[in-house]
Structure 1
Amino acid sequence: MEFAWNTQKNKMSDVKGKEMEQDRKGRISNPDIDDTRTNMNYDLVENNKNLYQRVKARVDEVRSVSRIQKNSVVDFSNIITVPKEQYEKWGLEKSKDYLKEVYNYFCDEFGKENVVSAKVHLDETTPHMHLHFVPVNQENGKLQARALMTPARINKIHTECPKYLQEKGFEVERGKGKTEKSLDIHRFKAEKIKEDINILENKLKALESDLKAFERVESSFDKIDSIKAKKSPLGAKISVKEDDYKLLIDLSKKSLVLSSKVSALQGKVSNLENQLYEKTLKLDERMELHKLRNENVNLKSSIVKQNKYIAILEDKLIDNGLAVRKPKNEIKVQKNKSKTYDLER
């Protein structure tokens, strides 16, 4: 299988949302989550604090030697997945061992003290791990995300982590897809669903091909109509030619085999069609979530730009003596010395 790893950089304001998602807090909109299995989820990092507190605590430890601002990247959230087909082959315990070794690799790569969380989820369709590390440069002890997670470093992990896992006995190779530094979680899961849909469609095509092959065999039953039987004058017996008798026996045997196989294949086709329908619905939901998230980001950006424009306008009014700054960010605008207008930010 290919090494399935996705990484995303986060500011401090992003971490709480990641915590809510991985700890199943608040409203759960993911249709893949089975809440009866959520109690099976576990964290490889033993710590009584929540994710936000862990990240903040580690950042505070290096604050004295680091230049930290509001927009500083303080966390990299990583998703490592065991593909469904591999999970079915490995089983639960080997899949858990695999994720544990990935955790060990990241501890070696970035420092165990910087890997603040490694939450394994077993309540979705396939096991996966949400691993978080604070980008502290081990050479100087400073928070340095840009220097730490370069494209070269990301490519190195894509290459070396599979080699490390191979040494531990896991059949894994470097992913052949495009390397992305940051990928939205909803888009990431949507792409995984697309992969599942492609697999299901290929299986469905194979089964439909098998059904057509059986239909061709069934066409040979038309030969029965050409068999001529004669009634014996010595009793209620029917006589047929020896070749026709052998054909009847052969078709009788084929009929029993075909009947059971066709029934089983039709059941598989029906099951795959249902799975395909469910996956398509989930894909639509994922794509809608991704669309709404992008719209929300664009809206926030627009609001920030508008606020900046209003602030510039207010400053110009004050500079030209047309307004006086009042408490609570209120601006009093004077017009023709007879009327006043209050503007609020």
Structure 2
Amino acid sequence: MIVARMQKMKAPNLIGIGNHNRRRIENHSNKDIDLSRSHLKYDLVGRAYNYKTDIEKYINENKASPRAIRKDAVLVSEWIISSDTAFFKDLDEDQTASFFRSARAYFGQKYGDQNIRYAQVHMDENTPHMHLGIVPFTKDKRLSAKTVFDRQALQTIQEDFPKYLKEGGFDIERGQEHSNKKHLTVDEYKKLKDRTELKNLKEIEQELNGKNQVSQSELKKLKKEYGDLEQGYDGLVAKVISADKEFKVKESDLTRFGYRENHEIEKKPVLLKRGYSVVKTSDLEQLEKAASFSLLATKKYDKENTRKIVLERQLENEKALTKDLSERLKQTHKQLNSVQKKLDSFIEKFTDQWSFAKEYVKQAFGKNLDGVYAGFQEKQQEKQQKTSRKASRDDLSR
């Protein structure tokens, strides 16, 4: 089957990919590279010696807009063109070169031959492949990878590219049709390929299922922590409301400590005793009671005023805790969303890896795993439905 995978390259990416494609470094992270065979590489166009400098120059000289290129713009859409080892096994060196020339011609006809700035063929790895760099210019010379290689364009390439090669005499087929699955990266593909050569299908399935269970347990743990935070938040809100009500009650109690209206007290001076006066016994008793009440009211007022201050401070503390908890809730929501995305990505990758393993075993041993795969899909759908139902129940409970 044909391998045609695209990745977007921005200005900083061009330095690293240029060094890799042209084999300018000796210490490669890719251990499949046989440096003793690196001299067999060749470029079918040879228009970019220094990828970043030469490609930026080409864009600036040909773009329609006088404005500078955005720093985050996609400068090159790089296609990796290849097939499986069995396909190249039946081709000699000239036929292999003809295959890559045909692939370059297809993209040149569709997207402009001059826009292909490099077509580097590598023969020093397990499987021959070509890095094809296309500057995504529209017909009116706008730099727009989203426009040139939109979803429709990618689907058309997957349909037409293998037909074009087949018409050229190559026994090649397209990949799985109507697939929305994310492609594996080069490193992921090579790691999976190595694992399938060392492990049987059952071991791979057990390993991937184990990873899925870990992801599910992490999600369950985070959801429990989120529920505990929400419960604590509700408790704090209730305490704040209770403290506010209690404060208002005490405040109304303090207003009742007003002094009653005084009536006029009769008093007469005492002869020969300056500073003394004679008052009625009933008035004296009234004054004594008023003084006692006033002293008691003052003490109670001081006590309630102190309690009021304490309650105000407690209320401020509760508000601060509520604000802090609100921030923690937001962060937990983000964590939950992140875990859910990772889980979805893992399930998607797991399905892709299963497809690869199934094809590998079918080709290697001639076994038909359609029944096994169908059973796996049913189990996977059941897991996803259970997860969706649980998430719905959690949302309703909240």
- TM-score normalized with structure 1 length: 0.53
Question: Post-superposition, which runs of at least 4 consecutive aligned residues in structure 1 deviate over 4 A?
Answer: 179-183, 191-206
Shift of residue 66 of structure 1?
5.8
Q: Is the 8 A contact 2:46 2:117 kept in 1?
A: no
- Between structures 1 and 2, the one with greater helix share: 2
1:146 and 1:7 mapped to 2: Cα distance? 12
Shift of residue 45 of structure 1?
0.8
Q: Is the 8 A contact 1:9 1:182 kept in 2?
A: no
Shift of residue 50 of structure 1?
2.1
1:35 aligns with 2:7: no
The equivalences for 1:55-204 within 5 A come to 55-63=55-63, 64-65=65-66, 68-140=69-141, 142-176=142-176, 178=179, 184-191=185-192, 193=194
Shift of residue 200 of structure 1?
7.0
What is the DSSP-based 3-state SS (H/G/I as helix, E as strand, rest coil) of the residue aligned with 1:59? helix
1:125-147 CA distance string (max 9 Å, x none): 1110001011011244x111111
Deviates more, 1:35-44 or 1:20-29: 20-29
What is the DSSP-based 3-state SS (H/G/I as helix, E as strand, rest coil) of the residue aligned with 1:46? coil
Aligned to 1:229: none
Q: Is the 8 A contact 1:80 1:129 kept in 2?
A: yes
The equivalences for 1:1-20 within 5 A come to 1=1, 3-20=2-19
Instruction: Give the number of aligned pairs.
Output: 205
Closer/same/farther in 2, CA of residues 104 and 136 from structure 1, 3 Å limit: same
1:123 and 1:51 mapped to 2: Cα distance? 21
Closer/same/farther in 2, CA of residues 14 and 183 from structure 1, 3 Å limit: farther
Identity %: 28
Larger radius of gyration: 2
1:77-112 CA distance string (max 9 Å, x none): 111113101111223321221111000111111101
Q: Is the 8 A contact 2:48 2:55 kept in 1?
A: no
Closer/same/farther in 2, CA of residues 204 and 150 from structure 1, 3 Å limit: closer
Shift of residue 30 of structure 1?
1.5
1:49-98 CA distance string (max 9 Å, x none): 22222321222123444662111111111111131011112233212211
Closer/same/farther in 2, CA of residues 111 and 128 from structure 1, 3 Å limit: same
Closer/same/farther in 2, CA of residues 152 and 188 from structure 1, 3 Å limit: farther
- Between structures 1 and 2, the one with greater strand share: 1
Structure 2: which 5+ runs fail to align?
195-352, 367-398
Closer/same/farther in 2, CA of residues 82 and 61 from structure 1, 3 Å limit: same
Q: Is the 8 A contact 1:41 1:122 kept in 2?
A: yes
Shift of residue 113 of structure 1?
1.0
Q: Is the 8 A contact 2:115 2:135 kept in 1?
A: yes
The equivalences for 1:174-253 within 5 A come to 174-176=174-176, 178=179, 184-191=185-192, 193=194
1:155 and 1:99 mapped to 2: Cα distance? 21
What is the DSSP-based 3-state SS (H/G/I as helix, E as strand, rest coil) of the residue aligned with 2:54? helix
> Match for 2:73: what amino acid?
S
1:15 and 1:201 mapped to 2: Cα distance? 37
Q: Is the 8 A contact 2:120 2:130 kept in 1?
A: yes
1:162 and 1:200 mapped to 2: Cα distance? 21
Shift of residue 164 of structure 1?
1.2
